[in-house]
């Protein structure tokens, strides 16, 4: 028997209480009993996003929310700025190109965070830029960007919005949507929200809605204005993911019982234990600065294939992590600790990593990483 562990940066584990809620008999999304569930979830999303804005629910992966965050606010020929510090920053540029947006790239070395001054300089040089696109947590590199400072910068430009992909950030570390002036914030169901894949969530500010009124890109399914008109009435424009929304109602019961500050503290403690445990085991973190608390990206030791580490974690010990993407394939592996994670997820991940490396011939001293993590996790 091989017990399975899911430590990939999405999908993440789903709590049993949530699975049981989703296993209830399906209800119709236009029936009266769906109305209070949808209303409760809408309020929960505002609480999590820390916003007064309506938070739209979309039947899509997080990328659907990203696409809508371009098509609903910009017209063909409009100018945008995007931060490319990894695979998902790169995706902003591809989406902009698809919708005819003239997107200028701020290229950041993978493993580093963007210098906010680069964004400030770009906006000063070209005030006609209508949107800035960035990740709060770049999943491919394990780096977080300073969206708080970026919010302060963009807020000073009346005709420019800041759009944040917080897909592996929201619910992991503090994201104050309104207080930081984040105009559009996107997340997905299968990360810290502890649900299966299938939903995207998008918070939209008044400033962004004003831009949406002028946008001329075509949007049918991901039409945010149409969704807003329906969702304020606790309905959706199209058939929603009913079971996931029922599951999300249960998720918010769990999250609110823990409290936002406690959630962020727990996630931060797990992240610190993983990072310091990895280093105590003699390994090197991939991020050169600003590591994300959602996941830890680790450099494969010289002479060891990172894909072999990733594969052996799964095959030998039932632990699904993630490998590197693009030019990082074979060079790093990634371990998630977001969402439904606790002390022993970190300890198991470190123990399995040490065992895999030992099996691959790397001179690791078993237990050193685990011991360091235990010290941190006991001192909470």
CA-based nearest residue to 19, from 216, 320, 302, 247: 247
113 close to 143: Cβ distance less than 8 angstroms: yes
The Cα 137–Cα 67 span in angstroms is 18
**Rounded-to-integer distance, Cα 169 and Cα 172, Å:** 5
| Cβ(158)–Cβ(169) below 8 Å | no
Cis before 11? omega within 30: yes
Quote the CA–CA distance of 42 and 57 in Å, as a whole number.
8
- Main-chain dihedrals φ then ψ at residue 204, nearest 5 degrees: -130, 125
Asked if residues 3 and 316 have their Cβ atoms less than 8 Å apart, the reply is no
Residue list, annotated binding site for substrate: 334
Question: Do the beta carbons of residue 326 and residue 308 sit within 8 Å?
Answer: no
| Alpha-carbon dihedral sign for residues 251, 49, 104, 287 | negative
The Cα 231–Cα 55 span in angstroms is: 9
Please report the DSSP string for 295-356 in residue order: EEEEEPPTTS-HHHHHHHHHHHH-EE-EE--GGGTTTEEEEE--SS--HHHHHHHHHHHHHH
Which helix (H) or strand (E) segment holds residue 92: the answer is: helix 87-98
Q: Which residues are annotated as a binding site?
A: 334
Nearest by Cα to 203 from 147, 271, 119? 147
Q: Which of 72, 57, 69, 66 shows the shortest CA–CA distance to 227?
A: 57
Q: What end-to-end distance do the CA atoms of the chain give, in Å? A: 34
């Amino acid at each position: 028997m091989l017990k399975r562990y899911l430590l990939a940066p999405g999908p993440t584990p789903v709590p049993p209480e949530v699975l049981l809620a989703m296993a209830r008999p399906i209800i119709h999304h236009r029936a009266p009993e769906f109305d209070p569930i949808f209303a409760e979830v809408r309020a929960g999303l505002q609480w999590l996003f820390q916003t007064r804005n309506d938070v739209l629910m979309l039947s899509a992966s997080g990328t659907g929310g990203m696409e809508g965050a371009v098509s609903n606010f910009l017209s063909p020929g409009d100018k945008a700025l995007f931060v490319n510090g990894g695979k998902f920053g790169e995706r902003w540029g591809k989406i902009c190109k698809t919708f005819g947006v003239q997107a200028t790239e701020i290229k950041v070395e993978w493993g580093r965070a963007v210098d906010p001054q680069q964004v400030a300089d770009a906006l000063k040089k070209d005030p006609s830029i209508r949107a800035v696109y960035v990740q709060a947590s770049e999943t491919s590199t394990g780096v977080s960007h300073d969206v708080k400072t970026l919010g302060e910068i963009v807020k000073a430009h009346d005709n420019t919005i800041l759009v944040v992909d917080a897909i592996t950030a929201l619910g992991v570390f503090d994201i104050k949507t309104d207080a930081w002036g984040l105009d559009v914030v996107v997340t997905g169901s299968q990360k810290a929200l502890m649900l299966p894949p299938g939903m995207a969530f998008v918070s939209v500010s008044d400033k962004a809605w004003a831009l949406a009124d002028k946008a001329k890109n075509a949007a049918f399914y991901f039409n945010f204005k149409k969704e807003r008109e329906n969702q304020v009435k606790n309905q959706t424009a199209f058939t929603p993911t009913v079971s996931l929304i029922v599951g999300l109602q249960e998720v918010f019961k769990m999250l609110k019982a823990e409290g936002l500050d406690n959630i962020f503290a727990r996630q931060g403690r797990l992240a610190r234990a993983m990072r310091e445990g990895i280093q105590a085991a003699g390994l090197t973190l991939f991020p050169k600065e600003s590591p994300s608390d959602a996941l830890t990206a680790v450099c494969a030791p010289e002479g060891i294939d990172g894909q072999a580490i990733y594969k052996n974690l799964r095959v030998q010990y039932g632990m699904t992590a993630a490998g590197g993407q693009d030019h990082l394939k074979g060079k790093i592996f990634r371990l998630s600790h977001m969402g439904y994670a606790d002390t022993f997820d970190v300890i198991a991940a470190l123990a399995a990593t040490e065992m895999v490396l030992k099996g691959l011939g790397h001179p690791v001293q078993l237990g050193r990483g685990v011991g360091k993590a235990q010290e941190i996790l006991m001192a909470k």
